[in-house]
Amino acid sequence: MTKFYDLSSLEIRHELITIRRYREGDFAALEAIFEQEFFTWFFSAYQNCREFVQEKMAEYERGNLVMLVIIDNQTQHIIGTSSLYDISFRHKRLEMGSSWLARAYQGTQYNALIKFLLIDYLLNTLNFNRIQWKTDALNVKSKAAMLKLGFVYEGTLRRHAITYSGRIRDSLVFAVTDVDWQHVSVVIQERIKQKSLITVQK
């Protein structure tokens, strides 16, 4: 059975990027690409990168979350982060979120590529059955992005959470399962091809 160690030791190497667990020595590189406006739709209004990382590391110490970094193999610079949480090894499911990319990489193939590599690894190497995402019902951009990647919309959790501003939000639920992956993987790979023509403005 897959265990927390399997997630915390996750490392995916691809020609363009490497995905692995966040380490203490990564902070300066992550801080360099941090922008507060990335977190408009997050539950917390992080004032700085340290607040963001400290929150994730506290959950990691409890065995509840694994924070990942994405590295551009050409420059060896960290270009973004994502987290795995709400993990059930018994039921072979988890949630992916708290994801953001450096501004120069937004709108390129990298988001789709990261999702493809992570989903494929989680389903086919670590044998999870289900990966889900939740997003604010008002976040039109996030909803559109998930649909373009082929994620399955499963419904809306009404009055699901309270944002940092006090607004009560509805949350949209999307998922990809092992049964979906044959189809969804094709959709994501096509998206990667379409976006690969866009140059990273470094």
CATH for the 4-195 domain, from 3.40.50.720, 3.30.450.20, 3.40.50.970, 3.40.630.30: 3.40.630.30
Contacts of 141 (CB under 8 A, 6+ apart): none
DSSP line for 114-176:
HHHHHHHHHHHTS--SEEEEEEETT-HHHHHHHHHTTPEEEEEEEEEEE-TTS-EEEEEEEEE
**In the predicted model, is pLDDT for residue 61 greater than 80?**
yes
pTM, 2 dp: 0.95
**In the predicted model, is pLDDT for residue 197 greater than 80?**
no
**pLDDT over 90 for what percent of the chain?**
90
**In the predicted model, is pLDDT for residue 201 greater than 70?**
no
Q: Where are the domains of the chain?
A: 4-195
